[in-house]
Structure 1
Amino acid sequence: MASNEEVAALLQEYADLLSITGGDAFKARAYERAARAVGGHSADVSGLDAKALKAIPGVGASIAGKIGEYLRTGRVAAVDEARERIPAGVRELTAIPALGPKRALVLYEELGVSSVDELAAAIGEHRLRGLKGFGPKSEEKLLHGIDLLRAATGRIPVDTALALAEDVVARLAEVPGCERCTYAGSLRRRRGTAGDLDVLAAAADSGPLTAAFTGLPVVGEVIGTGGTKTSIRTADGVQVDLRVVPPDAWGAALQYFTGSKEHNIRLREIAVRKKLKLSEYGLFHARSGRRIRVATEEDVYARLGLPWIPPPLREDRGEIEAAARGELPEPLAESDLRGDLHTHTDLTDGIDSLEAMVDAARRRGYSYYAITDHAPELRMQRMTKERMLAQRERVAELDARSRRRSGGLRLLHGTELNIAPDGSVDWPGEFLETFDVCVASVHSHFTQPRDEMTRRFLAAVENPHVHVIGHPTTRKAGRRPAVDADWDEIFAACARTGTALEVNAHPNRLDLPDELILRARGHGVKFAVDSDAHSVPDLANMRYGAGIAQRGWLTAEDVVNTWPLARLRSFLRAKAA
C-alpha cells in the first residue's frame, strides 16, 4: 500500500510540473499545501475513503480524487500527462538552486539541455550567453547551484537520518547480550545532514547483533559482514554501518566514531603528550600497550585532563581550549525552550487551524506561543488587515480561556513580515506596534548584490517594530543557496538594536547555520529558536533547531524564548523604545 510520504511526493511532483508549464500558480500552491498536509497526516491515507481524505486540511474534492485514483491504480492520469509534456531532465534541472521552472524549460527548448551534466557542459561552452535573461553572472550562479546540488546528493536530511537511526538503535538494543547501543558520527554531532549512518553497540559477542542487524526490515542489501563491522544499505539507498565493540572499549569507540576527524586528531595529540595512545580500539599506555578501561566517554576525556565535551561542539573550533580553561558553555537543551515565536495557521499557508496549533503547543508544555501568519506583501497568502484583526480577536479569546487555567499557555499575536528589496516591510508602524511580536524575513529577490542585500537587512534591523529576523540566509538545503550579505555588519546592527536572529528549526532550513551563529554570538546577538511550523507535526522540529543552536555554542541565556514571559515581553518592548 502507498505510504503518506509516497502520496505526498506525488502531489509535490504535480505541483512542480504545474510550475514548469506555467500553469495556475494558485493551483500549484494548493498541491504543495496538500502535499505537506498528507505527508504530516497522522492516519495512513491508504486506508481512508474520499470523505476522510477531504477532511485533511488543504485536500479538496479534486485532490482527494487524484489520491483515490493513485491508491486504486498506482497512477494518476493528470500527472502522467504532465510528465509527458515535461522531459524528466527538465524536472531534474529544477532541483538546481537559482534555476526556476520556467528558465529550466527555456534551456531545454532552446539548447536541448536536459540534465545537470549537460547544463554544466553548456555553461563551460558559454552557450547560455545567447539566451535572453542569461549572461556571465547567470553562469556563475548556476555553477554554484550545481555545486550545491552535487554536494547535497547522497546526504540525508537530519530528520530522515534521525528517524532511521533511532529505529535501528531501538531494535538492536533489545537483542540479548547488547549492553549499549547508540548512533554516532555527524548525526550525533547534530549536523544538518548525514551521509552514511554509524551505529555503535557494546557486547561480548557480536554474532547476535550482526544477525539482528542484517535481518532488519529496512535492509535492502547486505554490503558486508565481519566480526566487528557490518554494513547494510536500506531499500531507500542509505548505508548504515554497525560496529560492535567490547564493553570496556565503549568510551573510546563512541568518542572516536562520533568525531569529528579534526577534533579526534587534537585529542590524539594530547594523548601522545601524556604517553598514551587513543584509537577506536581503546585508550592504551603507549610504552606497555596495556589497555586502560574507559567505559564511558567521560572516562576518555578525564584521562586526557579534560571535562566531557558535548558532541555538537566537537569540530575543532576552540572547544578543546575552552574545555581546558574551564570555559566550555552549557549548550542549549530543547527542554530549555519555553515557547515558539514563529508559527503559521491555515489563515495563510499553514495546514492546521489556529485552535489545533494552540492545542498542540499546550501539549508540548510551552509557557507561551506566538502565531505569526504572513502579512499581505506575499500576495499569494491573501492576507488583509481585516483578516488579521479577526484572528487577533480569536487569539485573545483563546488566551483569556487559557489564562483562567493555573499555569496556562499564554498566546502572543504576531506576524511574519516580508522584507522588500528596499528593506521596507508590510504595514505602517502604527499598525505594527499593535502586534506582540513581529518576525521579518526575506522571501524574494534572493540574488541582489551583496551591498544591496546588506542595506536591505539593515533597514529591517533598524525598524523599531521588527523583533526577529526570520531564516536570515534564506537557504534551503540542496535547493537554494544562502543570500550574499555582509553578515558581520548585520550582526553588529542586531546587537546594537536588540533585534534577535532566528535559528529556524525546519530541517530543510536550519538557518542561521552554525558557523554564522558562532560569529553572531561573538557580536553579542540574541537568538530565537523557532519551528516555523506550518502544521502540528512541524512543532516537533524544535529538536533540530536546538541541535544547530548547540553547534553554534548557544546557551539558554543567548536564546530569548528560553526566558520567562515577563522578561521576553520586556525585550520585545525595548526594541520600540
Structure 2
Amino acid sequence: MARPNDEVAALLREYADLLAITGKDAFKQRAYERAARAIGGHPADVSRLDAGELRAIPGVGRSIADKVEEYLRTGRVAAVEAARGELPPGVRELTAVPGLGPKKALTLCRERGIASVDDLAAALREGRLAGLRGFGPRTVENLLRGVELLRASGGRVLLDAATALAEEAVAALEAAPGCERAAPAGSLRRMRETVGDLDLLAAAREAGPVMDAFAALPFAAEVIARGETAMAVRTPGGLRIDLRVLPPDAWGAGLLHFTGSREHAARIRELAARRGLRLSEYGLFDAETGRRRAARTEAGVYRRLGLPWIPPVLREDRGEIEAARRGELPRLVTEEDLRGDLHTHTSLTDGLAPLSEMAAVATERGYEWFAVTDHAPDLRMQRMTKEKILAQREELRALQGSFGGMRLLHGTELNIGPEGGVDWPGDFLAGFDVCVASIHSHFGLDRAAQTRRLIRACENPHVHVIGHPTTRKLGSRGPIDADLDAVFAACARTGTALEINGHPNRLDLRDEHVLRARAHGVLFAVDSDAHTPGELAHTRYGIGTAQRGWLTPAEVVTTWPLDRLRRFLAERGR
C-alpha cells in the first residue's frame, strides 16, 4: 500500500492541477505543488504528526495542514471534492498527455466532447480538431506524439518508487524463516530508468515461509500466481512484483539469469554452448554429463566462461561481453566517488529548505564542496532579482567554514532563451562560482532552433554545465527535438559539461545519450537537482544512468577534488 505521505502528496498535486485547470490563483496552485513535494519527501509518517508538527514541514501552512488532517481523518477533502465537481469528467485525465495543458484540455472537453485519452487519440486520427482555435497542425502533431509517449510509459513506475518497494520487500524477505539472502533482479538491478514489473530473488532451502512473508507485505494487494518456488503479487497501483525462491547453492546462476537483459543472457548462453556447457537459473552444467560447473556466485559463472564479472548496469548487449574478453571493462563511477553537487535549490526560489539546511545535509553526505544554484529571473514565477541573489551570496560567505571542511560554491541555474541567450550579462555572471544553464520554456521550437539555442549556450564562456539537456520528464513530457550530436560536439569543443540530472522523473541525459556524448569526448556532471534536503540522495539514480553510459570518475566533474574543479570552472570563464 502507498505510504500516507505519498497518498497525501498525490491529493495535493491533484488539487494543484484542479486549480490550474479552473484558472484559479496561480500562487495558490504553486503553494499546493510545493507542499506536495515537501510532504512526499518528508521522512516522518504524516499520519502520526499533530497539527503543529504538520505546519513545521516547509511549505505546509495552516490551511494545507487542515486539509491534510481532514484527509487523514475522513479519507476525503471537501475543497478537493468541490474542485472536482467544477470540471467535466475526463479533463484531468487529458492533462496527463504530454504537451496538453489544462486550458486546452478544458477546451477539448467543452468544444469537442473529448473526455479521455482514447477519445483524444481517435479525434486526432480522424481530424476532428480541424478548425478548433489553438489546435493547428503543429499542435496536433505534438499531441499525437504526447499520446504515444503516455501510452508507451503506461504501467511503468519510476526508479525511486520501484527502489523503495524493492528495499521494503527485500528487508521483509531476509527476515523470513530460512531465508539466507534476497535481492532485486531484472531491470531495477540494471538501473533502467523505469520499471515495468519488479523482480525479486530469495535464497532458501524451503520456499514456503519466504513466500508467506512475501504475501504478507503491506503493498501485496492481490496474489495473482503461486507455485512451489515462484509467486507474483500486484500492488494497489497495479505494479506486478515477481518472487523466485532459489536453492542457496544456485544463487549466482539465478541472479545472472533473472537480472537480464534478455539480449545479454542470450549471448551468455551462446558463449556457454560454444564451450559445451548449458546455462540455466540453476547453474552452469556440462552439456554431456550434466555435471554442474558453477552456480553459487555470478563471478564464478562468468569466470567459468572465461570472463570477468560484468556489472549489471552494463548487461544490455552493447559491447560489454567483447570488452570483458579484452579486459577493457571500465572502472565505473560510483556514488562514493562524488565530491559534491553542482545543481541544487533552496527556499530562495522553489526549494523547500534554507541554504544552511541544504548545506548541512550535504556535509552529512561527506561532500568536499557543495554548490547552490537557485533560479535566475527569466523564470519569472521564482521572482529572482540581482538584490536577492547577491544577498544569498553574502549569506553563503558568512556560512563558509560552518560545515567542517566543505566549501560552499555560489551558483545559479540560468534559463536558456529561445535564441540561446541567458538571464544576466557576462559581467554579472562572472561573479558566480558556477553557472548551470537549462531550457525551461519554448519546448516546441523546431529542430534547427533547439539545436542553435543549446549550442549558443554551450559557447557562452560563463556557462559551465548544461542542465537536464533534453528537458524530458518521464511519462509526462518528451524530449525537445534537437541535433544532439551537434550539441555534444559543441560541448566537447567548448569544454562545457553536460548534466546527468538524477531526479527520477528526469534522468536526463539518458544512458543512450551519455554513450553518444562520451564518444565525442564530453565531460559530465552528475547532479541531484535537489529542492529538498532528502532529494540530495537523487544522485544515486544519476550515478546509475552514468554507469549505464559506461562513465568513469575521470569523465564526471562532480567527482573531482575542489582544486581540479576550480580549474575547470575558471577555464570556462576565460
> What TM-score, normalized to structure 2?
0.98
* Letter in structure 1 aligned against 2:152: A
Distance in 1 separating the partners of 2:553 and 2:281: 33
Residue 499 (structure 1) aligned to one of 472, 496, 499: 496
The aligned residue for residue 67 of structure 1 is 68
**Structure 1 contact 2–71 (Cα < 8 Å) conserved:** no
The aligned residue for residue 331 of structure 2 is 330
* Letter in structure 2 aligned against 1:332: V
Residue 553 (structure 2) aligned to one of 551, 556, 562: 556
Q: 1:499 to 1:135 in 2, by over 3 A?
A: same
- How many residues are matched? 573
Spell out, residue by residue over 1:264-308, the C-alpha distance to the aligned partner (whole angstroms, 9 max, x if none).
Answer: 111111111111111223211112222223211111111111111
1:189 counterpart = 2:186: no
1:175 counterpart = 2:181: no
**Structure 1 contact 248–293 (Cα < 8 Å) conserved:** no
Percentage of pairs with the same residue: 65
The aligned residue for residue 265 of structure 1 is 266
Q: Equivalent residue of 1:435, what SS? A: coil
1:533 counterpart = 2:534: no
Q: Equivalent residue of 1:179, what SS? A: strand
Query: Structure 1 residue 248: deviation in Å?
Result: 2.4
Distance in 2 separating the partners of 1:242 and 1:69: 38
Query: Structure 1 residue 2: deviation in Å?
Result: 8.1
The aligned residue for residue 227 of structure 1 is 228
Query: Structure 1 residue 77: deviation in Å?
Result: 2.2
* Letter in structure 1 aligned against 2:34: R
* Letter in structure 2 aligned against 1:379: R
Query: Structure 1 residue 551: deviation in Å?
Result: 0.6
**Structure 2 contact 282–295 (Cα < 8 Å) conserved:** no
The aligned residue for residue 486 of structure 1 is 483
**Structure 1 contact 2–46 (Cα < 8 Å) conserved:** no
Query: Structure 1 residue 182: deviation in Å?
Result: 0.8
Spell out, residue by residue over 1:64-108, the C-alpha distance to the aligned partner (whole angstroms, 9 max, x if none).
Answer: 232233333332222111101113411001011111111111111
Q: Equivalent residue of 2:60, what SS? A: coil
* Letter in structure 1 aligned against 2:137: P
The aligned residue for residue 396 of structure 1 is 397
Which residues of 2 match residues 22-421 of structure 1 at below 5 A?
22-402=23-403, 405=404, 408-421=405-418
Spell out, residue by residue over 1:391-418, the C-alpha distance to the aligned partner (whole angstroms, 9 max, x if none).
Answer: 000101111434xx4xx11100000000
Q: Equivalent residue of 2:349, what SS? A: coil
Distance in 2 separating the partners of 1:126 and 1:550: 44
Q: 1:34 to 1:205 in 2, by over 3 A?
A: same
Q: Equivalent residue of 1:5, what SS? A: helix
The aligned residue for residue 449 of structure 1 is 446
Unaligned runs of 5+ in 1: none
Q: 1:497 to 1:255 in 2, by over 3 A?
A: same
**Aligned-pair Cα RMSD in Å:** 1.4
Q: Equivalent residue of 1:219, what SS? A: coil
Distance in 1 separating the partners of 2:35 and 2:256: 43
Query: Structure 1 residue 133: deviation in Å?
Result: 1.6
More moved, 476-485 vs 30-39: 30-39
1:440 counterpart = 2:437: yes
Distance in 1 separating the partners of 2:70 and 2:170: 37
Q: 1:38 to 1:563 in 2, by over 3 A?
A: same
Spell out, residue by residue over 1:321-369, the C-alpha distance to the aligned partner (whole angstroms, 9 max, x if none).
Answer: 1111111111111110010110000000001111111111111111110
Residue 427 (structure 2) aligned to one of 409, 427, 430: 430
**Structure 1 contact 175–208 (Cα < 8 Å) conserved:** yes
* Letter in structure 2 aligned against 1:265: A
Q: Equivalent residue of 1:200, what SS? A: strand
Distance in 2 separating the partners of 1:72 and 1:253: 46
Q: Equivalent residue of 1:401, what SS? A: coil
**Structure 2 contact 293–304 (Cα < 8 Å) conserved:** no
Distance in 2 separating the partners of 1:162 and 1:64: 29
* Letter in structure 2 aligned against 1:426: D
